[in-house]
Amino acid sequence: MLKIEHLTKVYDNGTVALKDVSFEVPDGEFLAVIGLSGSGKSTLLRCINRLIEPTEGRILWNGVDIASLSQEELRPVRRRIGMVFQHFNLVHRSKVLTNVLQGSLGYVNPVRSVFNRFPQEAIDKAFAQLERVGLEEKATSRADALSGGQQQRVGVARALMQDPEMILADEPVASLDPVLAHSIMQYLEQINQEDEVTVLCSLHFLDLVHRYADRAIALNDGVLVFEGPPQEIDDDKFREIYGKEAERVG
């Protein structure tokens, strides 16, 4: 169970990205986070694993307040939270396998892994994850030799490598064409349903939200303006979320 309480983020330059946001995510849920660009979706997801330091509020996950942890205490928490990024964030010059193995860095011994020594179990597991996303024969290619859709599948494999209890997906399909978008979303759906991993996924397209999400929350200018099943987003709600002039597409 993830419980966000009164989360506020003010950047150093004074920008208020999140204003007193509170919501809950039961274990195993697929939650979509929607809103305009700049509405605070990315900030919200990054506050949950403290890539961005929240200014105020609590982030309770399995009873532990993530917001109050020290850097050392954060490591065991972060390794159970996978993350998938809009721009994939792979290390271009590294092999695909190395990129997937990065997902095990929270588990392996820090001293050994610095010298590029991974236990055999980790390597076997990395191959298994690549197989799951259908890229086992690309293991030794350089990451930048892959197409966009393939790169995002490596990103998913890297998140899976962490044995995550929760996956934060920040616009995972915004850089992909609609066909690839569905294939990536299906991987996330499969992980959500088969492995019972909680998924928080920010999305732009409402049809994807309707198709994949159990529930949705919407942010507008850092404020939580909607929380409920995707079916409840009617035209009025839509305008409230996206602004008065917005028109629905797709």
Partner 1 sequence: MSGERRSLWRILRVPLLVVLAVVVYSYTFQEADVNLDEIRSETRQTQLVRVLRALARPEVLTYERIETPTDAALALPCGPALPAAEYGPDERQIAVEPSCAEPGAEITVTGTNFSPNARGQIYQVPSSGEIELRLEEFIADENGDFVVVVDTRERPEDVPQTIRVITREPIGSVFSPEYVEVETDDLDEDGNAIVATVRSPRISEAAYNTWDRITETVMMAFLATSVGVLVAVPFSFLAARNIMREVTTTVLRLSLQILVLPVGMVAGIIAARWMQDVSLLLTDSVGLVVGGLIVIPVAIFFAIRRAFPPIDEGLVPRGERAIRVSLAGVAAVASILVLFLLADLLTDLGAWAAPSLARLAFIANFVETLGDILAAIITVITALITTGVAIQLAGRLAAVLRQSLPGGVRKAIAVPLAGLAGGVLAAILAQGVAWLYQLNDPVTTIWIPGAVGAVIGLALAIRSLRKDDIGVGLSLYYVSRTIFNALRSIEPLIMVIVFAVWVGLGPFAGSLALATHTIAALAKLYSEQVESILPGPVEAVKASGATRLQTIAYAVLPQVIPPYISFTLYRWDINVRMSTIIGFGGGGGIGFLLQQNIRLLNYQAASVNMLAIAIVVASMDYLSARIRERIV
Selected from 76, 178, 228, 243, the binder of partner 1 by CB under 8 A is 76
* CA–CA gap between residue 52 and residue 74 (Å, rounded): 13
Alpha-carbon distances of 246 from 40, 97, 215, rounded to whole Å: 18, 43, 22
CB of 126 to partner 1, least distance (A): 13
179 burial type by CB count under 10 A (0-12 exposed, 13-18 middle, 19+ buried): exposed
* CA–CA gap between residue 203 and residue 192 (Å, rounded): 16
Q: Interface with partner 1 includes 185 (CB under 8 A)?
A: no
CB of 186 to partner 1, least distance (A): 22
CB of 121 to partner 1, least distance (A): 8
Site string for partner 1, 25-54 (x = CB under 8 A): ------------------------x-x---
Is residue 81 helix, strand or coil?
strand
The bridge status of strand 64-65 relative to strand 56-61 is: antiparallel
Compare residues 124 and 236 and give the one whose CB is closer to partner 1. 124
Site for partner 1 in 86-105 (CB under 8 A): 87-94, 98, 102-105
Compare residues 89 and 220 and give the one whose CB is closer to partner 1. 89
* CA–CA gap between residue 155 and residue 192 (Å, rounded): 16
Site for partner 1 in 101-130 (CB under 8 A): 102-114, 116-119, 121
Please, which contacts does 111-120 make with residues 24 or more away whose CB atoms are closer than 8 Å? none
Q: Interface with partner 1 includes 83 (CB under 8 A)?
A: yes
Report the interface residues with partner 1, using CB under 8 A: 49, 51, 70, 72, 74-79, 81-83, 85, 87-94, 98, 102-114, 116-119, 121, 155, 158, 161-162, 168
